[in-house]
Structure 1
């Protein structure tokens, strides 16, 4: 029997009637990636596949926990819009201007907030820009960056793999894909971290991120490069500078932290599950199998905003009103007993999880994200073969966010680094050449 979550039973207004009721808060000091699964199962047992929740002080919504219901939510644009301007609470002026949720769910002229033809137009530009990435060059870039990072801490015999590896590697690689230097990349990552934290400084973080990207767009308008920003600016879809900026925001926010969490969690599982590690070393499982296990059991993004009901309806056993917000419970849907094996055996060779979303808005960057994550995990496995956790697993700390599920730290130790022969390649700061 699961222990009640510390925020379960918090009195909030009902998403349907607006009257006082009982719902679970997806924020607060007791919330982190380790305690959330128990809350999801408690909500599922109490409310079924759709549950009332609070995502920020005074902000209520529906959390979609069922796998089948989440697929329906993502596929039926006529019933569930991506446009937050349909959100009744926002239309009625009931969202404070300084609400920490607003930078995440506020409307932007980007593919994540559009339906129909407008969404297809922008998604085509983003997909084509991502398709221009040369996979061989990207793999080389990731491996070179990984080798350099490992060489930087190998002599110490210990490291925090979140700060020194999982958080740093995607930043440098994505900075190269965007055509920015390491310093700008770090500033972007800091802004993204402030944005997804859903805390009081989220608005300032959002404005800082927009300013950095605006300067980058102006530079690429003047001098075209072999990077994603230039590809978006010169795509036949003729995106405006504002559309390019906000689609970059979506790509960076959704992509960077996802890879950080994916890499760190995969390494944690390999360190804490001897059987899985043995199966991987013996060739019974591939790195991709391990990565899919992470996506099933510990999706890097646990909850994703949002859809808005276009009409009154009965959905998942709840009475949904037009203008209600619905949150995609990716982690909860992956743990739905209807899709997971009853005996709890690992799901291998099955990618029907919803870690990347589903429907027309499925993440367009999942292939390069997988390549980056796979290369990062594979490289450190071979360079630090005797890697082990430096603290008990129970002492690992998780970041506190209603959206992101990731470790705050992953302290490890090792004794026999197997570094690359010859000079250590420098971290990549240039964009991989387009295919």
Structure 2
């Protein structure tokens, strides 16, 4: 084996690169991934060769059009990693930190043809049983309960105390395991997406929870997503059920946690943005879409794999090569966004949820949680303001996402509100191609609910800000659009 070459001196153009002079998407030299994408675009164009953890080679797709071409051509690109050359030759071994995201699984997002249709049909059938009014009640209930934990203090961290918890609480309700919602489930789900040394162990914990749920619902069906998935005519095995529960949980949770934090950050830091929201020129759903352009919840998706020799973005792609779906880089492609400050409201051609046959399954649940959650929080805390300078906000980044570390805020202390009874799903499930988000009746009897211990932020002086006028609501015009 060749001896490792001595690293280049500081200041050298090659400093921080790996074998072959390729740039790494991990480690200390990849702290500013947004800046790295632009360096790669300048050096290589729309598609660039890069290195994953352990210096495993892969292609980074940076162009908006090139990303769309890749995800819309299943005859050329597949999500089945079993043809990936580094996996076949052992370069990417079973202990690779990103293996939970790369390894082939018996799920529709990795399947093709008739098998894809069978698996997707079961998921979509279970999705059709989710009552949109009940979903809205779940979101409202948990928003009020989470805000009740800190509203009397006049200070909070809206990342650790709200954005990271609301999606998990709602998803545990939907899946039929509200008792599993706790800090450990939140942290394990976040950790397995980061490619850390503990990612594999975190994935095992999450899967153990989901497989216990599968076994329990197989024996004792209920009116929840998991039971309907199990009882679908497609006849999924327990392993297939558990893996699809994982897909729904990860796709909806991580995307929504980041989306919530990003929308709240913009509302709190951009006076013009908040003024439009308060003045009625923009609704919360429109604010969400703008955020999906500027800060997509997932930066990249691992991965797509070439089924044959081909060409993309001027690069020669060989059979077995891996490619990263670059949402963050594609959303700022100068060919589609020459002016990054331009208003993108009404334009849903962003890459935040992917596209093609494997488009993100959880996007409409994610949108609902962000829309209802942000609106409800701003109504409870209309004078909420950022407690620090915007420049002092810290971020953590991984190859999968860029995550706001904390969002400290201050507001006039308020009394906790009564939390209404947790709703159930409809007794007679029925398909709902269009979501009805008209105001539901919330008449119910309050019941005690299990609580969780959330971290207390340091004390801060309450501050007041401009009044917040209630926002309007739009109808959702589509349900899950599939994979």
Distance, in Å, in 2 between the alignment partners of 1:130 and 1:407 is 30
Match 1:74 to one of 71, 76, 81: 71
Q: CA shift at 1:430, angstroms?
A: 5.5
Aligned with 1:10 (options 6, 10, 16): 16
The partner residue of 2:304 within 303, 307, 317 is 307
Normalising by structure 1, we get a TM-score of: 0.92
**Are 2:214 and 1:227 equivalent residues in the alignment?**
no
SS of alignment partner, residue 155 of structure 1 = coil
2:443 maps to 1:411: no
Which structure has the greater CA radius of gyration?
A: 2
The size of the alignment, in residue pairs, is 420
Does 2:307 match 1:272?
A: no
Aligned to 1:140: 137
Q: Deviations over 1:150-203 (max 9, x none)?
A: 122011110011111111111111000011134455443322122111011111
- Counterpart position of 1:127: 124
The correspondence for 2:90, drawn from 90, 93, 108, is 93
Structure-2 residue corresponding to 1:52: 49
| Alignment partner of 1:390 is 2:387 | yes
SS of alignment partner, residue 352 of structure 1: coil
The 3 A distance-change label for structure 1 pair 324 and 5 is farther
Question: CA contact under 8 A between 2:137 and 2:423: conserved in structure 1?
Answer: no
Gaps of at least 5 residues in structure 2 are 1-9, 431-483
Structure 1 stretches of 5 or more lacking a match?
13-19
State how far apart, in whole Å, the 2-side matches of 1:323 and 1:91 are. 9
DSSP 3-state at the match of 2:257: helix
The CA distance in 1 between the partners of 2:268 and 2:13, in whole Å, is 31
Counterpart residue number, 2:465? none
Residue number in structure 2 paired with 1:260: 257
Give the conservation status (yes or no) of the 8 Å contact 2:64–2:336: yes
Distance in 2 (CA, whole Å) between partners of 1:55 and 1:432 is 45
Which residue of 104, 107, 132 maps to 2:104?
A: 107
CA contact (8 A) 1:180 1:429 kept: no
Deviation at 1:344, TM superposition (A): 2.8
Task: Give distance in 1, aligned partners of 2:412 and 2:141.
Answer: 22
Aligned-residue offset at 1:77: 0.8
Q: Deviations over 1:197-241 (max 9, x none)?
A: 101111111111221111110000011011111111011111111
> Structure 2 CA distance, aligned partners of 1:183 and 1:314?
46
Counterpart check, 1:240 vs 2:246 = no
1:26 aligns with 2:32: no
Output the CA distance in 2 between the equivalents of 1:254 and 1:311: 28
The answer to whether the aligner puts 1:378 opposite 2:384 as a matched pair is no
Instruction: Give the SS at the match of 2:397.
Output: coil
Q: Measured at CA, do residues 184 and 415 of structure 1 come closer, stay the same or move farther in structure 2, by a change above 3 Å?
A: closer
Distance 1:267 1:230, change over 3 A: same
The answer to whether the 8 A contact 1:308-1:325 is kept is yes
The answer to whether the 8 Å contact 1:166/1:263 transfers is: yes
> Which SS does the other structure have where 2:316 is aligned?
strand
Return the offset for 1:416.
Answer: 5.3
Aligned partner of 2:450 in structure 1 is none
2:50 partner SS = strand
Is 2:228 aligned against 1:207? no
Q: Give the drift of 1:364.
A: 2.5
Alignment map for 1:29-44 (pairs within 5 Å): 29=28, 31-32=30-31, 35-44=32-41
Q: Which has the higher helix share?
A: 1
**Which TM-score applies when normalising by structure 2?**
0.83
> Could you say which residue in structure 2 is the equivalent of 1:331?
328
- 1:75, CA displacement in angstroms? 0.8
Q: How far apart, in 1, do the equivalents of 2:145 and 2:259 lie? A: 20
Distance 1:419 1:6, change over 3 A: farther
CA contact (8 A) 2:60 2:323 kept: yes
Partner of 1:291: 288
- Aligned counterparts of 1:389 and 1:302: Cα–Cα separation in 2: 25
Q: Residue 192 of structure 2: which of 188, 192, 195 is its match?
A: 195
What corresponds to 1:425 in structure 2? 420
Distance 1:185 1:231, change over 3 A: farther
Q: Distance in 2 between matches of 1:238 and 1:399?
A: 41
Once superposed, what is the RMSD of the aligned Cα atoms? Answer: 2.2
Deviations 1:42-95 (A, max 9, x none): 111111110111121221210111111001100111110110001011011222
SS of the aligned residue for 1:296 comes to helix
- SS of the equivalent of 1:214 reads helix
